[in-house]
Amino acid sequence: MELNDILLNLKIVMFGGKGGVGKTSCASSSAIWAAEHGRKTLIISTDPAHSLGDSLGMKLDPGKPTQVKDVENLYALEINSKADLSDFEGLGNMNLLRGTGMPGMEELPMIGDLGELASMSPPGIDEALAFAKVLEFIETEHDYDLIIFDTAPTGHTLRFLSLPETLSGWIGKFIKLKLKIGNIFGVIKNFFSRGDEDEEENSLELLETLNNSIEKARADLMDPQVNSFVIVMIPEEMAVAETGRLLNELIKFDIPVSNIVVNQLFPETEKMCDFCQTRRRMQSSHLKRIRNTFGDKMGKNIIQVPLFREEVREYAKLKEMADFLIP
């Protein structure tokens, strides 16, 4: 599927690749194009080191979609990776189960409890909670036609994409356990006469809702009628190797990929200096390799974008970039 069809028809498009190759620029540029082609678009940065606001040349309100100046249909949002843990306070109620000496309870410490995990902040929990925020935009009702993700450099993105699996496995186990020992709640309740049943029910409901939306989001991210991942790269040795790894991982997670953007190509001009000629030659040989390596999967959707004289920032330049991305 070509990038213009993707931007006009799908609900989610993710841009990813190695650090500094032009992910944010390509994502912003595509978002402007889509918005100006009539799609109400939200571009979300999930990179903890945000630069989406800089790319668009504006300050974004923290935590909520900001209308992008000069582009009627476009909104931008930077998601804080340190999600607000207080959103998940209700999960702390699981602590009630501990230390009661009831049969089955000894399983709990092994599985852990979300509330406690959140308060301990083991590595990854902040990302997991940020992902829950992302789910809000994928899985709950909103009036955007298209959501574009400007993702973090490769390693981070892959962890992010594997989160639905990790989380739903984790929550699923928890729910099963909770159901298994569910009938013990009555006993505990009578034993302590604390009347906390409602809160317990709320925790379980919250977990179930979270689990359902994670499962649904995973299905959406895997559906080629819903989502497509666009890999951005530069024509250099290390980028080719990393792109291969990224592609394999995306295939492993069943995330549809149909476009690779090869960015920052030295333009061929009549009078090229020695330096530019040498770089262009180096890039050309890598471009050939890229076509050989990824051509089978991408066909003609290997998009070439030249190195611009100036930085690619703000409306006019991003529009210019779009002329290459969507010719």
**Interface residues toward Mg ion, by CB under 5 A:** 23-24, 51
To 10 degrees, what angle do helices 125-139 and 154-180 make? 90
- Residues linked to residue 228 through DSSP beta bridges, in sequence order: 13
DSSP string, 212-280: HHHHHHHHHHH-TTTEEEEEEE-SSHHHHHHHHHHHHHHHHTT--EEEEEEEEEPPP-SS--HHHHHHH
**Shortest CB 49 distance to Mg ion, Å:** 8
Contact between 24 and ligand ATP (CB under 6 A)?
yes
Longest C-alpha distance within the chain, in Å?
87
Stretch that binds ligand ATP, among 132-140, 162-170, 210-218, 304-312 (CB under 6 A): 304-312
Half-sphere exposure of 44 (CA within 13 A, CB side): 24
Closer of 26 and 181 to Mg ion (Cβ): 26
Q: Which residue, 104, 163, 101, is CA-closest to 132?
A: 163
Closer of 70 and 208 to ligand ATP (Cβ): 70
Contact between 235 and ligand ATP (CB under 6 A)?
no
**Shortest CB 171 distance to Mg ion, Å:** 30
The interface with ligand ATP within residues 28-67 (CB under 6 A) comprises: 47, 51
Residue 19 touches which member of ligand ATP, Mg ion, none, C-beta under 5-8 Å by kind: ligand ATP
CA–CA distance, 309 with 91 (Å, rounded to integer): 52
Closer of 25 and 66 to ligand ATP (Cβ): 25
Contact between 22 and ligand ATP (CB under 6 A)?
yes
**Helix then strand then coil, % of the chain, to nearest 5:** 55, 15, 30
Residue 264 touches which member of ligand ATP, Mg ion, none, C-beta under 5-8 Å by kind: ligand ATP
Contact between 242 and ligand ATP (CB under 6 A)?
no
- Residues linked to residue 259 through DSSP beta bridges, in sequence order: 230
Binding site for ligand ATP (CB under 6 A): 19-25, 47, 51, 153, 263-264, 305, 307-308, 311-313
